[in-house]
Structure 1
């Protein structure tokens, strides 16, 4: 190997992953060092990523990765680094310089064939991505239609939906009477797993509270289902378990879309004061405590992630006490999603809040892990902050949620 080729290779190996990514016109996220994206060679959605801090890259679709720019350039440009000409061509791409005269090069025929192969693959990747997106849209709309069907078939709470009112009263939410948003289904199936013939398995069929997830146009995009058993305190919900494993299953389910939506409970969404948190019972119990103010809209997010949205990766922090064992059996601190909202997130990555809202009361759960919940609530406040908007976070006493507090107050315990 000539001295010129040695220096050429050494210079190429010194080029960082970040610099190589810029040469290859790869995508960079607005913040952080991990940059997931479709693979320029294999396609996909987030199958490829490079880390500018750790100096690593990886393609899950191709089952390949490495820790230098040469290998990353070779994969993206479909070059074989096991061949001398392929390796030097990758070095040339990384450096932006021609291969020295004495170095091996791919032939014009090989180059033309490689570039055509790349173009054909990229066109196919684009076609596959378009078809997949269309399929996902169709599937999502089908699920939304099923959710709307469940909700539309349920009875309004009032004359016919008394079990929902009784359930909420038992959970400390007071006598809600007739309701605009929440509904009652007398016989709703709980499906889980498959039977011996591969058909969906019905574990239970019984009464349930059905609530909609609505978007900004107040259109139902999904539904939240809570099965009811008024003979089973303190939650007054049936107990389900997996018939194969015995694992306990949730007595609540969500159908259709929840992302970006919210569950309306009481009041008018045009109100300037909103009150809500993660679950239906929490928001309803707090509303009952303040006598369902006429100037307030009460809501639920469905879960903590939909309330707060994703966190900025750089804001992660180590839990002060919780630890877990890593692959080597070493106890390490559990990492917690931080209080800072992700910078480049979509509008529907968390529930929407009306533009007119100038007071947003966020309800925390005191029976959830305190540190993680506090970080998520701080993130929710930061995400929904607007000039002139007041966002207090209200906590129940430790170990409780507002529903449990209200229920115990009603019974004098």
Structure 2
């Protein structure tokens, strides 16, 4: 039995002092300031509440008093944690796996890139004249006219396995196989860095396959990237030198916007370059600060309800792992904003993207899809009355 006063002594120790002794960064002294977790790392997942003398690791959901903190870091028992805190055992930092060297990271990246390259090489042309059918039928379901120009960055495959990690033994298993659209991702230097894959199912209205984790029943994303997407883009059309470049998150979004522009007969945008930024984080880049969301809240492991924070309007200009566009390549950039996601979060990211590109010397504007829709939703809404009229 551990004496009650010994437990009380351990529990009453300063959570800040204990965190620092266990290897937390000095920034933890600032109440609720996010720093790397002394147990599992990260960048800002660990914080303390000095008034309540507790900690929280947002990654694991673990929180509690100084005793719980020692247990979290050292993965030890309640009694061992108290011995660490009362001096019977040294209060040492956790032993974590050494960080990978840059050479090791480069080896890992190159292996992933080669896996992506093999997938891409197995793809076939999408044009009907060259035997293509899957992407053509997928675009038709999404009301996207098949492009009149050749898109070198798109290919298709009739049977692509969907690998997923099995939780019981952590091995990768194939849980689905079917037709897929492939898109080549190129880095800032124009070289291949990864492949974007979209699994297809033509029995569904949106054409995307529903892939379910057989162990949990969770519906998985029908879109995945092999290789790298950091700083990458999918070039759907090169456009005219010194002209306009439209940048959106997804292939369907960008092609839908282009069709809407062509239908509106806006001659000054006859052939803008069409780039896919893959995700909004890659387009916007990191934020210099987090801002509170006006309505969304989260409940932490200690039961406290807090306003959720999202990336703010100001860009972190030191972030080099996001989309880069040489200022001399285009006269103007048009960023495509989806209206079907949380508007506050999306708008903050789009304003951040605009400022990031403006600070780099670009002339930038944002074109928003209608509220509650993305550009493909809008295109399909336009196509529906035309289809009824023809019928």
TM-score scaled by length of structure 1: 0.67
Alpha-carbon shift at residue 43 of structure 1 (Å): 12
Alpha-carbon shift at residue 251 of structure 1 (Å): 0.9
Instruction: Name the Cα RMSD after superposition.
Output: 4.5
What secondary structure, in the 3-state scheme, does the structure 2 residue paired with 1:310 have? coil
Matched, 1:398 2:374: no
Hey, what's the Cα distance between the residues in 2 that align with 1:408 and 1:388? 36
Hey, what's the Cα distance between the residues in 2 that align with 1:290 and 1:271? 19
Pick aligned residue for 1:383 from 349, 356, 359 = 356
Classify 1:332/1:135 alpha carbon distance in 2 versus 1 (closer, same or farther; 3 Å). Answer: same
Are the counterparts in 2 of residues 151 and 223 from structure 1 also a CA contact under 8 Å? yes
Question: Unmatched 5+ residue regions in structure 2?
Answer: 1-15, 58-64, 67-83, 264-268
Correspondences of 1:241-260 after superposition (within 5 Å): 241-260=212-231
Correspondences of 1:80-159 after superposition (within 5 Å): 128-129=98-99, 132-158=101-127, 159=130
Classify 1:392/1:174 alpha carbon distance in 2 versus 1 (closer, same or farther; 3 Å). Answer: same
Pick aligned residue for 1:302 from 278, 282, 287 = 278
Correspondences of 1:119-268 after superposition (within 5 Å): 128-129=98-99, 132-158=101-127, 159-177=130-148, 178-194=150-166, 200-233=172-205, 235-268=206-239
Task: Mark the structure with the bigger radius of gyration.
Answer: 1
Hey, what's the Cα distance between the residues in 2 that align with 1:82 and 1:133? 40
Alpha-carbon shift at residue 289 of structure 1 (Å): 1.7
Aligned to 2:74: none
Classify 1:255/1:312 alpha carbon distance in 2 versus 1 (closer, same or farther; 3 Å). Answer: same
Aligned to 1:95: none
Alpha-carbon shift at residue 362 of structure 1 (Å): 0.6
What secondary structure, in the 3-state scheme, does the structure 1 residue paired with 2:355 have? helix
Are the counterparts in 2 of residues 363 and 393 from structure 1 also a CA contact under 8 Å? yes
Matched, 1:316 2:291: yes
Are the counterparts in 1 of residues 297 and 306 from structure 2 also a CA contact under 8 Å? yes
The CA deviation string for residues 260-299 of structure 1, in whole angstroms up to 9 with x for no partner, is 1111112348553110211110011011222395542101
The CA deviation string for residues 1-34 of structure 1, in whole angstroms up to 9 with x for no partner, is xxxxxxxxxxxxxxx99xx9xxxxx999xxxx95
Are the counterparts in 2 of residues 269 and 354 from structure 1 also a CA contact under 8 Å? no
Question: Unmatched 5+ residue regions in structure 1?
Answer: 1-15, 21-25, 61-65, 68-79, 87-120
Alpha-carbon shift at residue 317 of structure 1 (Å): 2.6
Are the counterparts in 1 of residues 181 and 199 from structure 2 also a CA contact under 8 Å? yes
Are the counterparts in 1 of residues 338 and 373 from structure 2 also a CA contact under 8 Å? yes
Aligned to 1:339: 313
Are the counterparts in 2 of residues 172 and 404 from structure 1 also a CA contact under 8 Å? no
Alpha-carbon shift at residue 312 of structure 1 (Å): 1.4
Hey, what's the Cα distance between the residues in 2 that align with 1:195 and 1:128? 25
Hey, what's the Cα distance between the residues in 1 that align with 2:358 and 2:367? 16
Deviates more, 1:381-390 or 1:303-312: 381-390
What secondary structure, in the 3-state scheme, does the structure 2 residue paired with 1:210 have? strand
What secondary structure, in the 3-state scheme, does the structure 1 residue paired with 2:315 have? coil
Classify 1:231/1:81 alpha carbon distance in 2 versus 1 (closer, same or farther; 3 Å). Answer: closer
Correspondences of 1:29-48 after superposition (within 5 Å): none
TM-score scaled by length of structure 2: 0.71
Aligned to 2:3: none
Classify 1:247/1:390 alpha carbon distance in 2 versus 1 (closer, same or farther; 3 Å). Answer: same
Aligned to 1:358: 331
Are the counterparts in 1 of residues 34 and 43 from structure 2 also a CA contact under 8 Å? no
Are the counterparts in 1 of residues 292 and 307 from structure 2 also a CA contact under 8 Å? no
Are the counterparts in 1 of residues 239 and 245 from structure 2 also a CA contact under 8 Å? no
Are the counterparts in 2 of residues 191 and 200 from structure 1 also a CA contact under 8 Å? yes
